[in-house]
Amino acid sequence: MSTPLRLGIAGLGTVGAGVVKIVRQKGNLLADRAGCPVTISAVSARDKDKDRGVTLSQYAWEDAPVALATRDDIDVYVELMGGADGPAKASVEAALKAGKDVVTANKAMLAHHGQMLAQLAEDHGAVLRFEAAVAGGIPVIKALTEGLAGNDMDRVMGVMNGTCNYILTRMQSAGLPYAEVFEEANQLGYLEADPTLDVGGIDAGHKLALLASVAFGTQVDFAAVELEGIERITIDDITQAADMGYRIKLLGVAQMSGRGLEQRMSPCLVPATSPLGQLEGGTNMVVLEGDQVEQVVLRGPGAGEGPTASAVMGDVMDIARGFRVSTFGVPAGSLSETTPAKTATPAPYYLRLSLEDKPGALAKLASVLGDAGVSIDRMRQYRHDAGAAPILIVTHKTTRDALDAAITGMDRLDVVKDAPVALRIETV
Ligand code: NAP
Ligand code: HSE
C-alpha cells in the first residue's frame, strides 16, 4: 500500500479525541477506502497529562500548536482547538504557509478570516477544508460543492444550532418558560462557554456565512449577517404560533436576489408540518434550493464527538484520496465581494406587544401600522394582565423597513408597554 497520510492534531477535546478514536479504531477501513493508511504523527493540547479516554502515548507531543503545524512528519494539520484568533489562526496560517493541507471544525475562525485563509491556502498549493464547521455531522459542504455543483443555488436555509432548537422545542413540549429551559440546557452541558454564542445566534450566524459563501460563490461576509437571538421568545409566542399552525425556529436564510445577498439568522415562524417545523431537539437541518434540483433537505446531528469527528474525517479522507477542491468551492480570487441586500425579501410578520387596556389604545396601534403601510392580516387580543392587553398581529407581506417604521411609531405611543417582538414568517 502507498505512503501513509500523516495527521497532526491540535485540540484533543470533544472533537479531537473523537478523531483520534476513529483513526485508531478504523485503520483498515480508512486505508481500504483511501488507498493509503491514515496515521497520526503528533498531537497538541494545553494539558499533556489530562485523561482523554484514548491512548496518545505513541504520538509525539507538542505544547505549541504552531510547532505541530509545521512539523516535517505531518501532511495534514487538523485544527480542533477553536477560537476565531489566537493559536487556532496562528497555527493554521503557519501550516498553510508550510504547504500543509488543513482540516478544521472552527466556524468562528473561518467566519472572520475565511477569505484570507482560503487565499493563503491557494498561494501555497494547500487545501483548507471545514465540513465539520457547518451543521456538524451533516455533509452539507460536500453536498453543495460536489453533488449540487451543476446548480445555481437560489436559497439555503437551516436550523444550525442544536442548543437553540433544543430550547425552543423543549419550551413547546414541556410548556416551560425560556429561563427555565435555558438553565436545563446549561445543566445538560449544551451551552457554549459563552452562551450568547448559542442563544444570540452568533454560532449559527458563523455557519450561515460559510454556507452562503459556498452556495453563492461569494466572499465570507459574517458582518453582513442580520443576527437576532432567541432570548426574547416567550412561552406565549410558542403557544400562539402553534395555535396558528407554526413552530418557532432559529432559522438561517441566505438568498441571492437582484437586490444582493440576504443573510439572516433570526427566530422565524415556519409551518408546523414542514420538515423544518417538525425538527425536534438538538438535531440540525439544512435545506438547499437550486435551479435544477429544486429542494434537498439534509437532517442530522449538528454537534457531539462522533458526528463532528465524522465530518472531520470526511475531509481527511478526501485529501487522502487526492481529491482537492477550493475552500469555498471556487478559487479564492473568483469569490465575488458580496453586495449585502439593503432590505430583506418582503414577508408576513408575527408581532406581539402589550397594550394598555383602555379605550382607543387599539385604534392608535392600528393607525401607526397603517401610517407605515403595514397591513393587518389577523389580530387577536388573547388575555388581560393587570391592565395590560397582550395583542398578537399577523401582517400581510411587508418589508422589514416598513415594519421597523411601524415599531418605531409604536415605541412613541403611550399605550404600548415594552418593545414589541417581531418574527418573520418564512416560506419554506
Ligand atoms: P473542546 O472540547 O473545548 O476542546 C478544545 C481543545 O483544544 C482542548 O483539548 C484544549 O486543550 C485544546 N486547546 C485549547 N486552547 C489551546 C491552546 N492554546 N493550545 C493547545 N491546545 C489548546 O472543544 P471542541 O468542542 O472539541 O471544539 C473544537 C472545535 O470544533 C471548535 O472550533 C468548535 O467550534 C468546533 N465544533 C465543535 C463541535 C462540538 O460538537 N463540540 C461541533 C462543531 C464544531 P485541553 O484539553 O488541554 O484544555
Ligand atoms: N453550540 C453548537 C450547537 C455546537 O448547539 O449547535 C455545534 O456547533
Closest ligand 2 atom number to CA of residue 133: 8
> Which part of the chain is CATH 3.40.50.720?
5-133
Q: CATH topology for 349-425?
A: Alpha-Beta Plaits (3.30.70)
- Looking at residue 42, its amino acid is A
Active site residue 21: no
pLDDT confidence bin for 339, thresholds 50/70/90: confident
> Which part of the chain is CATH 3.30.70.260?
349-425
Is the distance from the beta carbon of residue 136 to the nearest atom of ligand 2 less than 6 Å?
yes
> Is the model's pLDDT at 21 over the cut of 80?
yes
The grid coordinates listed for 14 are 470533544
Give tens-digit pLDDT for 100-144.
999 999 999 999 999 999 999 999 999 999 999 999 999 999 999
263 to 24, 109, 334, 340, 353: CA distances (angstroms): 40, 18, 20, 8, 26
CB within 8 A of 317, min separation 6: which ones? 30, 33, 34, 38
As a whole number of angstroms, the distance between CA 388 and CA 292 comes to 51
Say whether 246 sits in a helix, a strand or coil: strand
As a whole number of angstroms, the distance between CA 274 and CA 218 comes to 29
Please give the CATH number for the structural domain made up of 5-133: 3.40.50.720
Measured in Å, residue 298 CA sits from the centre of ligand 2 at: 17
User: What is the pLDDT at residue 52?
Assistant: 97
Is the distance from the beta carbon of residue 285 to the nearest atom of ligand 2 less than 6 Å?
no
CATH architecture of structural domain 140-301 = 2-Layer Sandwich (3.30)
> Is the model's pLDDT at 47 over the cut of 80?
yes
- In this structure, are residues 217 and 328 in contact, taking their beta carbons and an 8 Å threshold? yes
The catalytic position among 207, 249, 397, 417 is: 207
pLDDT confidence bin for 384, thresholds 50/70/90: confident
Give tens-digit pLDDT for 257-308.
888 999 999 999 999 999 999 999 999 999 999 999 999 999 999 999 999 9
pLDDT confidence bin for 1, thresholds 50/70/90: low
> Which part of the chain is CATH 3.30.360.10?
140-301
Give tens-digit pLDDT for 168-201.
999 999 999 999 999 999 999 999 999 999 999 9
Residue nearest to atom 18 of ligand 1 (CA): 87
